[in-house]
Structure 1
């Protein structure tokens, strides 16, 4: 790098926006070539480079050696492009599921291939017109690629019943597609997956990474003891699937019908982080724990959890301190068993915000748990969690003493944690 180039990087690192613009102009073409080699698509390559420049601006002050700026930039571009390619593969998998559904729904019908292709465009919207239970069957059969026998085992129904319900659902979807093509100005449906993908991509850009990719190595399972103080997490071995857990495509089916199931993953140092996943409550309620700092034991420090209760029609963000639960935001939110919801949790500094299907649900300010992992749980219930992705924006290697809330017993716990004095309802 020339002396002028080093000066530009140093000035940009110090916050000089004009210097940063000049860096973009100097490296734009080379960065584009890196992305284009990976993505083989001009439009996708431009999107990846734009996203990479945002990351560069956010992280430039962390670059120690300005002479290495070029290599550092190209690694960021390559990583962003690779993530774009992964997301493109995921969208292709979804498209294949639509094709399979359309193809099976037109068996024994005089429908041309071109007409089938056209109908794929209407499928996401048409799916919103059928019941939540019917959508769950479609998701399990065509997108998670499960057999009718396995679906029957999950839902507690005979395979014959699953086949007949799938047949009726396909007929209902075909009828909805015909209605939409015949009366295009009728009631509009917002495709569920579209809400999730567009909300995630347009609101925060890229940088999302999958937390589950088909194997539970790197995850822990909570070992249940009679004494709650002796509960602990046990690492899951490669290829192992714990009891009452089933891998369903890119998701996890947790069956806590006879008790509880809890799986944890992530980095205990996560401070500013965002979590996005698709949640289907099948029987009862489900919960997502976050900022769970279990470095000194599962219940040594407080943590937060988001719970969805279809029966009570509520969604709540709550704080748990050794079993003492304080509701921080409890919202009336009618939800259905068997329906899939796109859930996003943003935990930044003292702020916690949640979205469901792209709509704001909870907003909380609380500073009692500054960092931790995430875990998925059910208790006397059953739920499916899939397409689990995250973005870790900032780590907190050490917890400041002012925020180091920890205790070995209830006697050590301040009164504020034992009484829901900070409860607010939105």
Structure 2
């Protein structure tokens, strides 16, 4: 039977390995991860885990014994140095060469770090992407300390919320004119700006980081683009991630905002597949790459079927979430190309509905689970709804879900 190797032991890699067994694969499975820990959840790192409210064992996706029970050879603390697509071998960091019949790359994404020229190599400057990052940042979070958050995306905002709740003096700087500029509307940015300032965060937009300065190799001060300076005890950098494609690029695979795969997860190299944050795939006439847990799981399970010659067409249904203070943000769909945002409030929560013409594209729901679920079902079902209906507080969202589906969305590049 085929030996299937999976490089990357995160959410996608773990889901893929489990699905292979569920689908009946009885051959060898090797799951290889660079980190010393078994596969774990990443979203709680910036929230409950970093606050010490979630123990390590509850962070694990499955008990470590599961992998042995399922005959999955889990290699932790091992880096893959090279892929030879022609020979179908992997060069491992412990000196071994591993042969495979089929290979899945679930290498995820890596954080964009501050360059050394800006002080990025000083002690006390962190990114928050993995368990080791959270373990290093956790002891820094103590009441009265001063933290600078660089970047006003969801990771930066979540880190700011954790620090503010712990009694730290928090300054968040965002180089763009507003927070969440790449991912959300001005209306959603306004909501979260107000929320953070109400919790004492010094939130500065249109403020670039000129450099970090330190003493004895440890960061002590940040100088901003307007020449103002901030005394800091530590810094968390959240300026985005990039797909981890180094192995794929060295092996000659086609890249396009990640490892380019088809609708079944096949890469340009025979026998090599990819899924999760590292992979871009066809979507509505173009290509897309999604950085989310739901996509990592769903795409990995589709790839598992394809690796067993049971290919299915992967159809992404984007949804995301973020927890900040006592607000749960749930997002359904993608807002790219919207020309109107409709705000709906029902006394309990609030939601922002993104339209292009009369077509609903996405919903941002803040403490509004009902609005989120209705929006998600309307989007995924292609059900007709107009901005005027959503803006009307008397509209029964449940009634909208009983309508007949509208024609498919036009292809967009």
Q: TM-score, normalised by structure 1?
A: 0.27
Which has more helix, going by share of residues?
Answer: 1
**TM-score for the superposition, normalised by structure 2:** 0.27
* Higher-Rg member (1/2): 1
